[in-house]
Amino acid sequence: MIPEYVDFHAHLDLYPDLQEAIRSCDKQKTATLAVTTTPLAFKRNHELASSSKFVRVGVGLHPQLVEERYGEIELFEKLLPQTRYVGEVGLDAGPRFYRSLDLQKQVFERVLRLCASSKDKVLSVHSVRATKAVLDMVEKHLPQDKGTVVLHWFTGSVAEVRRAVALGCYFSVNEQMLSSPNGLKIVTAIPTDRILTETDGPFVLRKEAPIPAGDVRRAISLMANTLAIGELQARHVVRRNLKTLLQD
Ligand code: MN
């Protein structure tokens, strides 16, 4: 089934009804990466998405949860062969999570090494206040020919965008990024063949309500404006990028 849209970072299991969220992605024909925040959450997501045409599930261990859940890395390793997708993983050096940064780095290194030995994984990576450390670790532990990193809601500098591109990374961008001056500076620095869309639902809000599952239409429209292309063309670009990314 050929998708119409791409949502490469969504927390479908954090919507009130996971089944309904999956159905909504299928109805819109949105190729969706349902990320999970702990390995324990993978099973239910995987089961409910097993009959979905458009939803794929990643096994993840969110950096903000590493302090309490780092022990689940063993389960992460066990589940990894069940999916090509990994996320949400990465580093968060923001004030609330800074104290677990060393532990986060240990976990992320293990994730990257495990992915490198499986060779074809695609990772959705969080890098809040830690863009340099994330890129350093990707460079060191996940060579380009051993896996693909998609940087989700990237907030680094334009120079870091270039560095990430040289490391083979893609970027998933959401409507909130595309509506902020700093986000737009990043988006315009991303080469057109490395850009994907995401909702980051339900965390991205529209008038204080969570963005509907799988709805990247506003992201597409803002992206089309930014790149000075039509919306159909923007959709085509994103679909083509996903196809290339999954073929590599
Ligand atoms: Mn997220």
Instruction: Please write the tens of the pLDDT for every residue from 7-24.
Output: 999 999 999 999 999 999
Residue 182 contacts by C-beta under 8 Å, 6 or more apart in sequence? Answer: 155
pLDDT tens track for 206-227: 999 999 999 999 999 999 999 9
Q: Is the pLDDT of residue 1 over 90?
A: no
| Residue 142 to residue 115: CA distance in whole angstroms | 7
Kind plus residue range of the DSSP H or E element containing 132: helix 131-141
b/e for 213-228, b at 16 or more Cβ within 10 A? Answer: bbbbbbbbebbbebbe
Closest CA relative to residue 73, chosen from 28, 25, 40: 40
What is the percent of the chain with per-residue pLDDT over 70, rounded to a whole number?
100
- Given a contact cutoff of 8 angstroms between Cβ atoms, the answer to whether 224 and 234 are in contact is yes
Q: State the distance from the centre of ligand 1 to the C-alpha of 15, rounded, in angstroms.
A: 13
Q: What angle do CA 67, 34, 137 make, to 5 degrees?
A: 50
Q: Which residues pair with 222 in a beta bridge?
A: none
Residue 176 contacts by C-beta under 8 Å, 6 or more apart in sequence? Answer: 183, 200, 204
Q: State the distance from the centre of ligand 1 to the C-alpha of 11, rounded, in angstroms.
A: 7
Q: What is the mean pLDDT of residues 68-74?
A: 97
Kind plus residue range of the DSSP H or E element containing 235: helix 231-247
Closest CA relative to residue 64, chosen from 37, 33, 102, 35: 37
Give 145: exposed, middle or buried? Use CB within 10 Å, 0-12, 13-18, 19+: exposed
Predicted TM-score (pTM) above 0.95: yes
The owner of tokens 């737009």 is 184
Q: State the distance from the centre of ligand 1 to the C-alpha of 81, rounded, in angstroms.
A: 22
Nearby residues for ligand 1 (ion, Cβ within 5 Å) = 88
CATH for 5-247, options being 3.20.20.140, 3.40.190.80, 3.30.540.10, 3.40.50.880 = 3.20.20.140
The owner of tokens 């965008």 is 161
Helix (H, G, I), strand (E, B) or coil at 167: coil
Q: Cα-flanking dihedrals φ and ψ of residue 105, to 5°?
A: -65, -40
Q: State the distance from the centre of ligand 1 to the C-alpha of 159, rounded, in angstroms.
A: 23
Q: Mean pLDDT in the chain?
A: 97
Q: How confident is the model at residue 204 (pLDDT cuts 50, 70, 90)?
A: very high
Q: State the distance from the centre of ligand 1 to the C-alpha of 200, rounded, in angstroms.
A: 5
